[in-house]
Structure 1
Amino acid sequence: YIDFAEAGVSDNLNKTIDYESVYNRILTIALAKKSYLIETVSYRICELLFGEYPSLERLVIRVRKNNPPIGGVVDCVEVEIDTTREDFYASIERFNNHPHK
């Protein structure tokens, strides 16, 4: 979530987030390094977007894996992260300070 009032009034792409650029960056992350967990992919997306877009206040990220190999008939599994910038970085700090990583 960002305050996009200026973009809404001016109709200027430079005043908001370029969603094509976001899509391409997420695609690069998803393909750059093999991940076994969709949770890991979700984390990397949050890290990327909060890092590259300082105006972002909150993110809701959903990552879905179709036809997961879980031994049953399931269309998909999905992970959703709904976090603020502050909470996301606080969770990283808690993990880094946890004695049993």
Structure 2
Amino acid sequence: MASSQSYNLYLGLELFVILFSQVFAHVPPEAEATIPGRKMVLDGRISLEKFVRAVHFLESRMKGTMMIPPRLYEMPSDKLLLSGLLFFGFHGALVEERKQGQKFLVDIEAWTDLKPPGKSDNLSDSVDYTKIYGIAKEVLEGPPYYLMESVAQKIAITVLTNYPQISDVRLKVAKPHVAVHGQLDYIGVEIIRHRSDLPV
């Protein structure tokens, strides 16, 4: 009993600190060290996972149940990186975009276990990044989509479908030349798709 009460108190205090950390936002820097909650937030000692686990746990306690809060889904740390891919396509909602075309920038991160290829030094144990590049090229230079969201979705789902060893994909699709009256580097979208997002 004492152990569960301590755990409940610990999570409750963390939840309190997170919820009220913004109250301390106006505190001058010289006083921050005197406020443990503010310092914990600034030091990054309270994570999003702990916050959600605390909320889940306290909610179960309020309902009279004793549920152990589940861990959040965590993506593996290893990943393949393809950065700065450049293609020419005809995607866009404007007629001019679909007629004249434009450049698209693409970044891809694919989470997969790289320990096997790291030990064997054998390409067959890894994912050939040229194949992932080929998927992006086929989509970007293929039939036009109205939205960049659809372009990113198509690439991400295709990568996950074709390579079961890849668990998650982050896609960024951007276009540097847009009809905006102002200075900017690009306009784009970034999505993360998990294997659980694949159609059944």
TM-score range, shorter chain: 0.7 to 0.9
Q: 2:189 aligns with which of 52, 59, 79?
A: 79
Task: Give per-residue Cα distances to partners, 1:54-73, cap 9 Å, x unaligned.
Answer: 11111111111112223433
Once the two structures are TM-superposed, the CA of residue 76 in structure 1 deviates from its matched residue by 0.4
Size of the aligned set, in residue pairs, is 90
CA distance in 1, matches of 2:131, 2:168: 18
Partner of 1:7: 117
| Residue deviations 1:34-57 (CA, integer Å, cap 9, x gap) | 122111110000111011001111
Q: Determine if contact 1:68/1:74 at 8 Å carries over to the other structure.
A: no
Scaled by the length of structure 1, what TM-score is found?
0.79
Structure number with the bigger relative contact order (C-alpha 8 A, sep ≥ 6) is 1
Deviation at 1:78, TM superposition (A): 1.8
- AA aligned to 2:140 is A
- The TM-score, its normalising length taken from structure 2, stands at 0.42
Deviation of 1:74 (Å): 2.4
For the aligned residue pairs, the C-alpha RMSD in angstroms reads 1.7
Q: Determine whether 1:67 maps to 2:177.
A: yes
Could you tell me the percent identity over the aligned residues?
Answer: 27
Mind listing any 5+ residue stretches in structure 2 that lack a counterpart?
Answer: 1-110
- State which structure, 1 or 2, has the greater radius of gyration over its C-alpha atoms: 2
Superposed structure 1 runs of 4+ greater than 4 Å apart = none
Equivalent residue, structure 2, for 1:57: 167
Match status 1:32 vs 2:119 = no
5+ long unaligned stretches in structure 1: 94-101
